[in-house]
Amino acid sequence: MRILIMGSGGVGGYFGGRLAAAGNDVTFVARGSHLAAMLENGLLLDSLLGQALVKPVRAVRDPAEAGTPDIVMFATKMVDAESAAAQLKSVVGPQTIVIAFQNGVEGADVVKRVVPAAHVIPGVARIASHISRPGVIEHASKFARIEFAEPDGSKNEKLAAFHALCKAAGIDAIMPADIRRAQWIKFAMLAPFSGVTALTGHAAKELRNAPGTYALIRSAVQEVIDVAKAEGVAIKPDDFEGVMKTIDQLPDGMVSSMAHDKRAGKPLEVEWLSGGVVRVGARHGVPTPTHAFITQALSVDAAGKPRDGT
């Protein structure tokens, strides 16, 4: 099975790295210094679940160099999703499955709009990881899970075969009965935590210990739950407390990838996280004042800092 990793950062780099380390046919799409370091030194997973070095590594700048894959793990940042999807047009075949692992709940829709012929399914990645330096993925917790399934719950033999490869590679991979619910439950944790860590610059323990920021997180979680209900997602009565329990159990020093991006002056995904909550909420007439505040407050940093004098 040929696997293409579109976006070789914290998510694609980690899970693609595990698959490659297990001997699977994996090609990474990367760029800049990260691509150069991978080609020269390999891809290192610096993880509490065990280090792994993939060397040599198959890595390209243009997916057209990789040929037609069976599976695409589409794991770019949402700010790059449309342009990355356009690069797939020349390589996606009639039997290719594209699994959209982006943050938020709109990743699969973006790919479908750009590559309408592609068979795109939603995925969920639950991991705290990032590129700590070119060629190195840092994963500082013992939790790393991916979830993917057909939106209607139907069986797919190729997807099941990919799931088996993931399990054989030691990846905690799940094919849930309701992938849409899985997306929204993650979103109910991710959008609030990403927004508040990016706004404040503080990690999980500090935010939990401060009554004001903890209340802000709770309000933001409740808004996502309310919007999910309006969207027709199968929300359960105890989901709010379940999400809060997840946040309460996050590693003390954990911050979001968006907080890492803000520190590095990179573009932010806020328009697809808190901004996405506001957008979908408005469609249903559901008030989302907390996420509106987060979106507006981070808008000054959303585009990132100019680079190379531009």
CATH of residue 250? 1.10.1040.10
Report if residue 308 sits inside a domain: no
Report if residue 199 sits inside a domain: yes
Q: Give the per-residue pLDDT at 117.
A: 78
- Considering the domain architecture, whether residues 188 and 260 belong to the same structural domain is answered as yes
- Considering the domain architecture, whether residues 194 and 172 belong to the same structural domain is answered as no
Q: What angle do CA 104, 161, 82 make, to 5 degrees?
A: 30
pLDDT band at 310 (very low <50, low <70, confident <90, very high): very low
- Considering the domain architecture, whether residues 25 and 145 belong to the same structural domain is answered as yes
**Number of structural domains found in the chain:** 2
Tallying the residues shown for the chain, one arrives at: 310
pLDDT digits (tens, 9 = 90+) for 106-133: 889 999 999 887 899 999 999 989 899 9
DSSP state letter for 104: S
pLDDT digits (tens, 9 = 90+) for 11-65: 999 999 999 999 999 999 999 999 999 999 999 999 999 999 999 999 999 999 9
Report if residue 71 sits inside a domain: yes
pTM (2 decimals)?
Answer: 0.90
79-82 long-range Cβ contacts below 8 angstroms, 24+ apart: 79/267, 79/268, 79/269, 79/272, 80/7, 81/107, 81/110, 81/111, 82/110, 82/113, 82/114
- Considering the domain architecture, whether residues 65 and 170 belong to the same structural domain is answered as yes
94 upstream amide cis, omega within 30 of 0:
no
The mean pLDDT of 89-106, rounded to a whole number, is 91
Report if residue 303 sits inside a domain: no
- The residues, ordered by sequence, that sit 6+ positions from 240 with a Cβ below 8 Å of its Cβ are 188, 221, 222, 225
Axis crossing angle, helix 289-298 with helix 179-200, rounded to the nearest 10: 50
- Considering the domain architecture, whether residues 109 and 67 belong to the same structural domain is answered as yes
- Considering the domain architecture, whether residues 109 and 148 belong to the same structural domain is answered as yes
Of the residues 177, 209, 226, which one is the last residue of a structural domain? 177
Of the residues 148, 177, 206, which one is the last residue of a structural domain? 177
Report if residue 307 sits inside a domain: no
Q: Which domain holds residue 249?
A: 180-298
Report if residue 125 sits inside a domain: yes
Question: How far apart are the C-alpha atoms of 75 and 204, rounded to whole Å?
Answer: 24
- Considering the domain architecture, whether residues 91 and 147 belong to the same structural domain is answered as yes
pLDDT band at 104 (very low <50, low <70, confident <90, very high): confident
- Considering the domain architecture, whether residues 143 and 187 belong to the same structural domain is answered as no
- Considering the domain architecture, whether residues 146 and 200 belong to the same structural domain is answered as no
- Considering the domain architecture, whether residues 172 and 203 belong to the same structural domain is answered as no
Q: Would you state the structure tokens that stand for residue 286, as one six-digit string?
A: 């559901």
Q: How many CA atoms lie within 13 A of 307 on its CB side?
A: 6
Report if residue 98 sits inside a domain: yes
CB atoms within 10 A of CB 117: 11
The mean pLDDT of 73-89, rounded to a whole number, is 93
Of the residues 177, 199, 227, which one is the last residue of a structural domain? 177
- Considering the domain architecture, whether residues 157 and 205 belong to the same structural domain is answered as no
- Considering the domain architecture, whether residues 62 and 148 belong to the same structural domain is answered as yes
